[in-house]
Amino acid sequence: MDTGPILVWLRQDLRLADHPALDSALHAGTEAIPVYVLDEDSPWPLGGASRWWLHESLARLGAAMAAIGGRLILRKGATAEELARLAADTGARAVFWNRRYEAHERALEDRVTNALRAGGVETRSFPGNLLFEPGSLPTKGGGEIRVFAAFWRSALSLPPPAFPLPAPERLPGPTRMAARPALDDLGLVPCGGRTAAELADTWTPGEEAARSRLDGFLADGLEVYAARRNHPALGGTSRLSPHLAFGELSPRQIWHAVAARSPSHGAESFLREIGWREFSYFLLAAHPDLPSVPIRTEFAAFPWQSDETQFAAWREGRTGFPIVDAGMRQLWRTGWMHNRVRMIVASFLIKDMLMPWQAGEAWFRDRLVDADLAVNATSWQWVAGCGTDAAPYFRVFNPVLQGEKYDPLGQYVRRWIPELAPMSDLGIHRPWEAAPAALAAAGIRLGQNYPLPILDHVSARRRALAAYNRVRGTG
């Protein structure tokens, strides 16, 4: 390969630093042409919040590339056809990309390879989105690692991931190319029922913002991460997940930034969360239908219920259980929810309401700015008890006790349910038990300006355990 530019096909890697495909293209030729193709033909289409984030991320990446002499090319349509057409128009001699691990993305890579090689264009892929590629971890029997603890022990037994690559100082790119489609022509916004302004109040997408958030977390949050991570009012999480989901920051950058700090319980705990992301991708690679089909096959016969009225109450934060409603309202307003609260609301949907976990997975995938297919599906299967590394089926979170334990002063609930703000710390997680005089003094009219509970948790728990026991053959 010694003539013609190289196309760099972007997907889950919207960054300049630690970008193996881009770095290799720049070292292999004189001109690199980054291109993003919006291909709507996917079994798991982008949700509304993800579409907004993608729009903003592409805008910032394009500006960053222009600042160093390059240009981000956008296309919309069937990826293989668009890349083949662009290669022909530019005289590209090769197309480079960073690998993905979803079955439909692997199939797409095969189609792209076939279409390009038919035109004499070389293709090359690189590992760039994970610390460890699926299939790379040592196992005792050579089979699939089905438990996270064993997976993480195996991962930590390997040499550390390679150091991240630097961002290019210059990006020689095309000077004469059609200006269309422009970013606005992709039609990524507005998104599902929320305005861009609402999400922009909370988030700044892009590689620069990702690095700034990582630096801030390392300085102020890493040491106390283990102690604060489960308390939603304390802001103890990194909030890096959407930046990781869109590849504005690579896991290698995070790994080495954390490793450069003094060892601590917070650092160990935080890297385990990065490990959970890795584990999720290993599972998705092994189980392509992970977002819709339970890994434990007996759960295909689970007696799920269907109640659209209750499901709407859950989606909209009107269940009458304050910690659940606070989480769902945070999701609606910001496109994000604290991880502990995600587990609480997921348990409530699956085990209290007895509704299929797939419905929750789909709702989160549409509403989350960090809607990572692998992590979302793995986490929902974990709560449902039907994954490889599942929570015990008899663990049914009590939403009242969870609220009292992890939001003891009611600060999180008060932020997202302001109508309950006048309640006492002791009563805010169970307003239906408050004395009528206390409710009147707080201006709360249960069933009017805040709902009564849509179910009885004790009865719901008994029903869930009976259903789980039947499925597992113990009832």
The CA distance from 213 to 202, in Å, is 13
Nearest CA to 314 out of 348, 343, 364, 351 is that of 348
Which of these is catalytic: 198, 304, 404, 419? 304
3-state secondary structure of 35: strand
In this structure, the number of other CB atoms found within 10 A of the CB of residue 337 comes to: 25
Is 12 within 8 Å of 246 (Cβ atoms)? yes
Q: Which CATH entry fits the domain spanning 297-470: 2.30.30.180, 3.30.479.30, 1.10.579.10, 3.40.50.300?
A: 1.10.579.10
Q: Which CATH entry fits the domain spanning 130-163+206-285: 1.20.1420.20, 1.25.40.80, 3.40.50.300, 3.40.50.720?
A: 1.25.40.80
Catalytic status, residue 304: yes
Catalytic status, residue 276: yes
Encode the chain (475 residues) as per-residue pLDDT tens digits: 467 899 999 999 999 999 999 999 999 977 899 999 999 998 999 999 999 999 999 999 999 999 999 999 999 999 999 999 999 999 999 999 999 999 999 999 999 999 999 999 999 999 999 999 998 887 776 677 888 999 999 999 999 999 999 999 999 877 667 667 999 999 998 654 456 778 999 999 999 999 999 999 999 999 999 999 999 999 999 999 999 999 999 999 999 999 998 788 889 999 999 999 999 999 999 999 999 999 999 999 999 999 999 999 999 999 999 999 999 999 999 999 999 999 999 999 999 999 999 999 999 999 999 999 999 999 999 999 998 876 676 789 999 999 999 999 999 999 999 999 999 998 999 999 999 999 999 999 999 999 999 999 999 999 999 999 988 775 4
DSSP state, residue 433: G
Is 424 within 8 Å of 437 (Cβ atoms)? no
Residue spans of the domains in the chain: they are 6-128, 130-163+206-285, 297-470
Two tokens, residue 31: 């001109």
3-state secondary structure of 351: helix
Catalytic status, residue 339: yes
The CA distance from 372 to 390, in Å, is 19
The CA distance from 249 to 242, in Å, is 9
Residue-wise DSSP of 76-105: ES-HHHHHHHHHHHHT-SEEEEE---SHHH
The CA distance from 385 to 324, in Å, is 20
Which of these is catalytic: 152, 276, 332, 363? 276
pTM of structure: 0.95
Which of these is catalytic: 357, 363, 382, 416? 357
Which of these is catalytic: 273, 398, 404, 419? 273
The CA distance from 400 to 419, in Å, is 18
Q: What is each CA distance from 216 to 210, 219, 237, in whole angstroms?
A: 10, 5, 11
On the question of a common fold for 130-163+206-285 and 297-470, the answer reads: no
CATH superfamily to which 6-128 belongs: HUPs (3.40.50.620)
Catalytic status, residue 273: yes
Which of these is catalytic: 144, 230, 339, 398? 339
